[in-house]
Amino acid sequence: MSALSLHDSLERPAPVPQRPGVGLLGCGVVGAGVARRLLLAHPGLLRAVAVRDPAKSRDVDWGTWDGDPFAVVDDPNVTVVVECIGGVRLARELVLRAIAHGKDVVTANKELIAHDGPWLRAFAARTGATLHYEASVGGAIPILRALETSLADEPILEIGGVVNGTTNFVLSQMEGGAGYSDALAKAQRLGYAEADPRNDVEGVDAAHKLAILATLAFGRPVAPSALAQRGISAIVPADIAFAAERGWRLKLVALARRTEGGVEAAVTPAYVPRSHAFARPDGAENVVRVVGANSGSLEFFGLGAGGAASASSVVGDIMSAIELRARGIAPHRGVVGDPLPVTGLQLPVVGPAAIPLLT
């Protein structure tokens, strides 16, 4: 099957003859941030909110909580469905239902997009809907929009960076003398890490984000299951000291490089010289570097974890969806076709823990 370009589009049905309305699915850390932003800056835009427990007290000034997310998706007053519940099975079902109704969808669900994003987007184009997921990578950093607009015609040679705020916070704390367990516990207290942090610390989250970035950058699906991944749970203070003695920093790096036959990619802890772009983030900050054949090296830097950062991108996507609908702009068909072949990242390893060195 041949790949479809991001620029290919289908004719969009006539705009829905009603004023825009947002249906929010989930009101956790990110969802609550989205709700507060909409209520403050766009009164009347938020029409319905579905939560798992309508009786639970929340720091959001909203009248009636709905316990049925499918009712929110089906609500005729809702034109944009915002999925903030997380997970895959229920989220996929709700997103598919919204798209089938021709409703625009905004999500921060990196796992869903990494696995199903290309075909979900292609399906959305066929129903006249759009699928937006800027918040799935990099928090408030507008990297996906840059790849789809300013860099849409640029041959990308390499993309990657430090894309998990939890692990970067933990490693930054360890540089300051904290042990791994104490640093992780602090990240959890501050809301940078989940109660079950395994997806973050074992590199799963970063692999999902790298798959999304590489798919958009290289124009063909990159399966997250094909990406080699190694997390930070085995990192000890001696590894941090080894880096410091040599003027390096230790980072969880996600990196993909285009090769003649496919992609060379991995998620791995890596020693990075302090002069390198990937050494720049502290705490929960992220950085993404794009290397283009014509553009050269471009760096995107900012806060990559926390509810406020992700909510900022979600609200931006909501506004974009509404604008595209109002202007009658046809959606992209997405990136489809056979997944690119992926091989492991070829980097030298150093030190007693055999950690790769990125130069």
pLDDT on residue 331: 67
pLDDT on residue 268: 98
pLDDT on residue 169: 95
Measure the CA–CA gap between 170 and 166, rounded to whole angstroms.
6
- To the query of whether residue 209 is one of the catalytic residues in this protein, the response is yes
Reported as a single tens digit per residue, the pLDDT across 90-141 is 999 999 999 999 999 999 999 999 999 999 999 998 999 999 999 999 988 9
| Comparison of pLDDT for 1 and 88, the residue scoring more | 88
Min mean pLDDT across 63-67, 232-236, 286-290 is at: 63-67
Q: Is residue 290 scored above 60 in pLDDT?
A: yes
224 secondary structure, DSSP code = G
Buried-state track 74-104, b at ≥16 Cβ within 10 A, e below 16: ebeebbbbbbbbbeeeebbebbbbbbebebb
- Classify 86 as helix, strand or coil: coil
Residue 8 Cα to chain centre, angstroms: 23
Helix, strand, coil percentages in the chain from 3-state DSSP, rounded to 5: 35, 20, 40
Q: Is residue 337 scored above 80 in pLDDT?
A: no
Residues with Cβ within 8 Å of 48's Cβ and at least 6 positions away in sequence, in order, are: 21, 23, 24, 66, 71, 72, 75, 77, 78
**Residue corresponding to tokens 């040599």:** 246
Q: Is residue 348 scored above 70 in pLDDT?
A: yes
- Whole-structure pTM value: 0.91
Mean pLDDT of 29-56: 94
Q: Is residue 9 scored above 70 in pLDDT?
A: no
Among residues of the chain, what percentage have pLDDT more than 70? 94
Among residues of the chain, what percentage have pLDDT more than 90? 77
Q: Which of 340, 332, 338, 278 is nearest to 152 (CA)?
A: 332
pLDDT confidence tier of residue 2, bands split at 50, 70 and 90: very low
Measure the CA–CA gap between 11 and 52, rounded to whole angstroms.
37
Reported as a single tens digit per residue, the pLDDT across 220-261 is 999 999 999 999 999 999 999 999 999 999 999 999 999 998
Sequence-ordered strand ranges (E) for the chain: 22-25, 46-50, 80-83, 104-107, 131-132, 156-162, 228-229, 248-258, 263-273, 285-292, 296-303, 342-343, 349-350, 355-356
Mean pLDDT of 277-286: 94
Residues with Cβ within 8 Å of 64's Cβ and at least 6 positions away in sequence, in order, are: none
Catalytic residue chosen out of the listed positions 103, 110, 209, 251? 209
Reported as a single tens digit per residue, the pLDDT across 200-215 is 999 999 999 999 999 9
Q: Is residue 63 scored above 80 in pLDDT?
A: yes
pLDDT confidence tier of residue 8, bands split at 50, 70 and 90: very low
Measure the CA–CA gap between 175 and 248, rounded to whole angstroms.
11
Q: Is residue 282 scored above 70 in pLDDT?
A: yes
**Average pLDDT for the chain:** 91
Q: Is residue 12 scored above 50 in pLDDT?
A: no
First to last CA, the chain: 37
